[in-house]
Amino acid sequence: MSDLGRMNYFLGMEVNQTEKGIFLCQSSFTMKILDKFSMKNCKPTSTPMAVGVKLSRQGSGEPICETMYKSLIGSLLYLTATRPDIMFAVSVLSRYMNCCNDQHFRAAKRVLRYIKGTIGHGVLFKRAKNMKLIGYVDSDWAGSSDDMRSTSGYAFSLGSERCEWPGISCNTAGSIIQINLSYAFLIEVGDRFGKLNFSSFPNLVLLDLSHRQLGGKIPHQIGNLSALKHLDLSNFGLSGELPPSLGNLTQLEYLDISYNYNINGSIPPHLGNLVNLVSLNLSWTSLSGNIPPFLGLLTNLRHLLLDRNQFDDGNNTIPQNLWNLRGLETLSLGHCGIVGPIPSALGQLLNLKSLILWGNKINGSIPPEVGFLSNLTYFDVYDNRLVGSIPFSLYQLTNLEILHLGNNQLEGSIPQNIEKLMNIKFLSITNNSFTGHIPLALCRLTKLEYIYLDENQISGSIPSCLGKLFNLRTLDLDSNLLEGLSPEEIGNVANLTSLSLSQNKLSGSIPSCIGNLSNLYTLELDSNLLIGSIPEEIGKLFHLSNLNLSFNQLSGSVPILSATKLRIIDAGNNCNKISPDPFEGNSRLSPYMCTSPVTNKANSSTIPYHIKIFLPIAIFSTFSILGYFLF
């Protein structure tokens, strides 16, 4: 490890440390802004904003390019880190990002003219002799001409140091203890993370640089921040391996390096030193190797998220000592290449609230010990190789809100005691081998918002009591063996946005009450035995974007639709051609139902529709040509 000496540059800020104090400025960044907006040779002005100027959203100025205006304001906002003299002007101008016009742009250019004449200005932190706390607060008292709201501000200093900046805080001794430059505070940073010098922040307890795109590797000097308790580098554009020096941060309680897709290598064993860690999030990176057993030694851990990595596919198992983490509340191991069964020791994690194991190769059955996890709210084992039936103990999880069992090889029927899951909002058993009927007990789960029972072998009729699930947004029952009529009561579910009943054996007509589902986006009734005409009420579904009525025995025409968002309509393989054709000229919409069979009395054969139309034309043309030559 090398000593980089005194800091002289940090995130675009120039640092000059002398005996008089520490001077921070952004002169080079200021020149870049002036050059970017062609104001390098502009005439300076003495104030950033004209006295008495009143800007408004309702101004009469000409609209300008929002992208250019947002880029200018974003650059100026970052400049306020060392230029509090422009904070008010820039804050006012930032209100008009989505309604900017040439008046706002002229006011912004005045700020550029001001900083042109004050390029060398910055903030000087003097050596303090009197550690006196001073605060300033002011307000313009209903100064906004748009909504009559006030603009307020505050500043506190200790000695000569401003210790409360947006995103930066210090302690009573004047040392910086928090740096939060996440997307909420930072607009544009041009440097790379690997150039940062951390030796000047021995008391730093929080470092949040999330949702930035600085890039580079995590420097090993980050291990010098021995007081750090919170480190968030998520969505950062980082690459390379995790440095072993992270293991030096023994006070760390929160570590988030998720959504850095180019982080690779294995999880370093030095992370086993982080005994105070409460939350560890390494999901959505490119880490490889195995899930390390030492994670089971971090006994203070409450949240462990390792989803979507590139761990050895087919060689990973859930480390047995993870069950020692009795305080664990979140265990998320989705798409981690895990094989083998779910250990029964899982039942020891009595504080667990979220268990996420989707996208692995887990086999065997769901252990009945899952029923011991009385605090569980989220259980996701989607896309594995689980077999057997759902254990009855699972229905004891009365706090469960999300149950995702889709894409497995589960079987059996849905029992009546599913009604015990009174807080369930999301239920999915899609693409399994469940049989039997839809239990009436399902209708008692009044908090349900999403039901996915598709691609099973469920038979019987659709219970009319589903119309009592007023919070329901999605009902997917396609690819089953359901028969009978579509219940009229389904029209009572006013919040429904997606209704899919395709590939069943439903009969009768389409209930007109579907027209009451004013929020419906998707309606799929294809591949059934539906008859009759299409209800006119369907034409009132303004938000409809996908309508599939194909492969039925429907007749008549598709009603004129008021749906402005309609993208797909398929009414093919029914009985008659649609008339009139409301979809002419749109190749993405299917304008035809199947042709009606016509019987020839001579041979009782079926004459196809296109032959019926074009054969008389061909005969007439033939005789016309012969007549021309003969006569």
DSSP-assigned states of every residue in 371-439? GG-TT--EEE--SSEEEE---GGGGG-TT--EEE--SSEEEEE--GGGGG-TT--EEE--SSEEESPPP
Asked whether the beta carbons of 386 and 366 are under 8 A apart, the reply is: yes
Residue with tokens 């057993």: 293
* Beta partners for residue 125, in sequence order: 22
pLDDT over 70, % of the chain: 76
Residues 6 or more apart whose CB falls under 8 angstroms from that of 305 comprise 258, 280, 281, 282, 283, 330, 332
Q: How confident is the model at residue 483 (pLDDT cuts 50, 70, 90)?
A: very high
pLDDT above 50: residue 594: no
What average pLDDT does the segment 207-233 reach? 83
Q: How confident is the model at residue 595 (pLDDT cuts 50, 70, 90)?
A: very low
DSSP secondary structure letter of residue 309: -
pLDDT above 90: residue 620: no
Q: How far apart are CA 193 and CA 453, in angstroms?
A: 48
Q: What is the pLDDT of residue 259?
A: 92
Q: What is the pLDDT of residue 402?
A: 96
Q: How far apart are CA 565 and CA 407, in angstroms?
A: 31
By C-alpha distance, which of 407, 391, 283 is closest to 344? 391
Cis upstream peptide for 463 (omega within 30°): no
Q: How confident is the model at residue 143 (pLDDT cuts 50, 70, 90)?
A: low
pLDDT over 90, % of the chain: 46
19-49: pLDDT as tens digits: 878 888 999 999 999 999 999 999 999 888 8
Q: Which amino acid appears at position 34 of this protein?
A: L
Asked whether the beta carbons of 423 and 446 are under 8 A apart, the reply is: no
Q: What is the pLDDT of residue 222?
A: 87
- Give the least confident one: 233-242, 360-369, 477-486: 233-242
Asked whether the beta carbons of 387 and 362 are under 8 A apart, the reply is: no
Asked whether the beta carbons of 243 and 223 are under 8 A apart, the reply is: yes
Q: Of how many residues is the chain composed?
A: 631
Q: What is the pLDDT of residue 150?
A: 61
- Give the least confident one: 466-475, 501-510, 567-576, 611-620: 611-620
Helix (H) / strand (E) element for 484: namely strand 481-484
User: Helix 66-79 crosses helix 27-36 at what angle (to 10 degrees)?
Assistant: 170
DSSP 62-116: PB--HHHHHHHHHHHHHHTTT-GGGHHHHHHHGGGTTS-BHHHHHHHHHHHHHHH
- Give the least confident one: 228-237, 375-384, 476-485: 228-237
Q: What is the pLDDT of residue 604?
A: 35
Q: What is the pLDDT of residue 103?
A: 86
What average pLDDT does the segment 78-94 reach? 87
DSSP secondary structure letter of residue 605: P
pLDDT above 80: residue 241: yes
What are the backbone angles phi and psi of residue 387, rounded to the nearest 5°? -130, 175
564-593: pLDDT as tens digits: 677 778 888 876 444 444 444 443 444 433
- Give the least confident one: 156-160, 418-422, 555-559, 619-623: 619-623
DSSP 203-260: T--EEE-TT----SBPPGGGGG-TT--EEE--SS--EEEPPGGGGG-TT--EEE--S-
Between 318 and 605, the higher pLDDT residue: 318
What are the backbone angles phi and psi of residue 18, rounded to the nearest 5°? -130, 180
Q: How far apart are CA 472 and CA 438, in angstroms?
A: 16
Q: What is the pLDDT of residue 168?
A: 57
Q: How far apart are CA 629 and CA 631, in angstroms?
A: 6
Describe the strand order of the beta sheet including 21-25 as a list of residue ranges.
9-10, 13-17, 21-25, 122-126
- The per-residue pLDDT of the chain, averaged, comes to 81
What is the pairing mode between strands 546-548 and 361-364? unpaired
Q: How far apart are CA 310 and CA 337, in angstroms?
A: 8
Q: Is the dihedral of CA 121, 122, 128, 131 positive or negative?
A: positive
pLDDT above 80: residue 272: yes
Q: How far apart are CA 616 and CA 624, in angstroms?
A: 12
pLDDT above 80: residue 615: no
What is the pairing mode between strands 303-305 and 262-264? unpaired
- Give the least confident one: 91-95, 162-166, 243-247: 162-166
By C-alpha distance, which of 309, 331, 196 is closest to 258? 309
Q: What is the pLDDT of residue 357?
A: 95
Q: How confident is the model at residue 137 (pLDDT cuts 50, 70, 90)?
A: low
Q: What is the pLDDT of residue 612?
A: 42
What average pLDDT does the segment 250-268 reach? 93
Q: How confident is the model at residue 626 (pLDDT cuts 50, 70, 90)?
A: very low
Asked whether the beta carbons of 272 and 252 are under 8 A apart, the reply is: no
Residue with tokens 């989220």: 378
Quote the tokens at residue 544.
Answer: 């409809």
Q: How far apart are CA 521 and CA 568, in angstroms?
A: 11
Cis upstream peptide for 219 (omega within 30°): no
Q: What is the pLDDT of residue 624?
A: 52
Between 437 and 181, the higher pLDDT residue: 437
- Give the least confident one: 326-340, 458-472, 609-623: 609-623
Q: How far apart are CA 188 and CA 12, in angstroms?
A: 10
Burial 317-329 (b: 16+ CB within 10 A, else e): ebbeebbbbeebb
Q: How far apart are CA 107 and CA 112, in angstroms?
A: 9
Q: Is 280 helix (H, G, I), strand (E, B) or coil?
A: strand
Asked whether the beta carbons of 338 and 319 are under 8 A apart, the reply is: no
Quote the tokens at residue 6.
Answer: 């005194």
Asked whether the beta carbons of 220 and 245 are under 8 A apart, the reply is: yes
pLDDT above 90: residue 501: yes
Residues 6 or more apart whose CB falls under 8 angstroms from that of 205 comprise 177, 178, 227, 228, 229, 230, 251
Q: What is the pLDDT of residue 265?
A: 92
Q: How many Cα atoms are found within 13 Å in the side-chain-facing hemisphere of 512?
A: 6
Asked whether the beta carbons of 540 and 516 are under 8 A apart, the reply is: no
pLDDT above 50: residue 513: yes
Burial 386-400 (b: 16+ CB within 10 A, else e): beeebeebbbbbeeb
Q: What is the pLDDT of residue 607?
A: 43
What is the pairing mode between strands 279-281 and 122-126? unpaired
pLDDT above 50: residue 207: yes
Q: How confident is the model at residue 216 (pLDDT cuts 50, 70, 90)?
A: confident
Residue with tokens 């949702």: 211
Asked whether the beta carbons of 108 and 76 are under 8 A apart, the reply is: yes
User: Helix 66-79 crosses helix 102-116 at what angle (to 10 degrees)?
Assistant: 30
